[in-house]
Amino acid sequence: MDSVRSPDWPAAPLGGLAANSAAARYGTPSGPAPAVGRAQPPHPAEPAYPPAHPPAPPAPVAGPRPEAHPGRRAAPPVPVKILIAGGFGVGKTTTVGAISEIAPLTTEAEMTSAGIGIDDPGARSAKTTTTVAMDFGCVTIDRSLKLYLFGTPGQARFGFMWDDLARGALGALVVVDSSRLDDCYPVVDYFEQAGLPFVVGVNAFDGRLALDLDAIRWALAIGEHVPLVRFDARDRLSVRDTLLVVLDRALQRATRDRGA
């Protein structure tokens, strides 16, 4: 009976809980992107990030573990979420990884070479795998509030996931690569129709932009009210500032709704 194989799907989970991090799945990036953006042990020779300010850096706080109380249990944090959308290979996972306190996790398998040609990451990318579902990470804001970041592909055929993702989201960041804008049109349309506050972030690969921001705004046909910012997905502070722009938009909407 050589046709009977024990199903090895459920065998994976318990042994390797950590094995499902995006880093394990995608391997170390072969391109110029340095170790997935996390400022984990601040590199001694790297002055890029200012030395930890007194208001304790939140990064090393071990995720959702406020001391284990054996008897009484802490109430779970209130979750809020921001979506990170964009086409293949534009740097969604890198964006999430740059600011998340956990290595980005993914809920689905990666797309392998089978998808190449359909989802062409462009000439400048050496990517052989990409995400078909969602990468996500989180930032613990305080004991009772936790921010989740969900990365989602921006092509129309992933639209079935957007309703679930957008429900209750504070806002969205649409990541675009200035040399391949077309991937993000469907998701921009979707957010516009759904009334979700969003910001377009142009990921400046190696600091270069193929087009200037005005040309990109024109090409995307987004209104003047939609912020268009340039950022570096590998840089924690750059990602943080871009998310703050998203939150600013979210706040505008919330106060407007409240006033109405």
Partner 1 sequence: MTPDAGGEGDPEQRVRIRLRAPVAGAAASAPDPGPEGPRPFVLTAGRVASADPAIGLETQVTAEPGASDDEVALLPPELQAIIALCAEPISVAEISARTRLHFGVTRVLVGDLRAAGHLEVHLGPGDGASDPELILRVIDGLRAIS
What is the footprint of partner 1 within residues 196-225 (CB under 8 A)?
Answer: none
Which lies closer to partner 1 via its Cβ, residue 77 or residue 211? 77
Q: Which residues are 229's β-sheet partners?
A: 201
Cα–Cα distance between 173 and 88 in angstroms, integer?
15
Task: Please report how close the Cβ of residue 122 comes to partner 1 at its closest, in angstroms.
Answer: 16
Which lies closer to partner 1 via its Cβ, residue 30 or residue 179? 30
Which 48-67 positions form the footprint of partner 1 (CB under 8 A)?
49-50, 52-53, 55, 57-59, 64-65
Which 239-258 positions form the footprint of partner 1 (CB under 8 A)?
240, 243-244, 247-248, 250-251, 254-255, 257-258
Q: Is 47 in the site for partner 1 (CB under 8 A)?
A: no
Cα–Cα distance between 61 and 249 in angstroms, integer?
28
Which lies closer to partner 1 via its Cβ, residue 225 or residue 258? 258
Which 140-199 positions form the footprint of partner 1 (CB under 8 A)?
141-142, 145, 147-148, 150, 164-165, 167-170
CB 85 within 8 A of CB 184: yes
Q: Is 128 in the site for partner 1 (CB under 8 A)?
A: yes
Task: Please report how close the Cβ of residue 205 comes to partner 1 at its closest, in angstroms.
Answer: 19
Q: Which residues are 93's β-sheet partners?
A: none
Task: Please report how close the Cβ of residue 60 comes to partner 1 at its closest, in angstroms.
Answer: 12
Candidates 35, 48, 61, 74: give the one binding partner 1 (CB under 8 A): 74
Candidates 44, 114, 223, 224: give the one binding partner 1 (CB under 8 A): 114
Task: Please report how close the Cβ of residue 251 comes to partner 1 at its closest, in angstroms.
Answer: 5
Task: Please report how close the Cβ of residue 215 comes to partner 1 at its closest, in angstroms.
Answer: 30
Task: Please report how close the Cβ of residue 190 comes to partner 1 at its closest, in angstroms.
Answer: 16
Give the other-Cβ count within 10 Å of 242's Cβ.
Answer: 28
Pairing verdict, β 198-203 and 171-177:
parallel
In sequence order, which residues have a C-beta less than 8 Å from that of residue 251 and are 6 or more positions away? none
Q: Where are the beta strands (DSSP E) in the chain?
A: 78-86, 105-106, 110-111, 130-131, 135-142, 145-153, 171-177, 198-203, 228-231
Task: Please report how close the Cβ of residue 13 comes to partner 1 at its closest, in angstroms.
Answer: 4
Burial 157-192 (b: 16+ CB within 10 A, else e): ebeeebeebbeebbbbbbbbbbebbebbbbbbebbe
Cα–Cα distance between 171 and 183 in angstroms, integer?
19
- Please work out, in degrees rounded to the nearest 5, the angle formed at the alpha carbon of residue 28 by the alpha carbons of 25 and 33: 125
Total residues at interface with partner 1 (CB under 8 A): 83
Candidates 60, 108, 179, 182: give the one binding partner 1 (CB under 8 A): 108
Cα–Cα distance between 218 and 215 in angstroms, integer?
5
Which lies closer to partner 1 via its Cβ, residue 160 or residue 224? 160
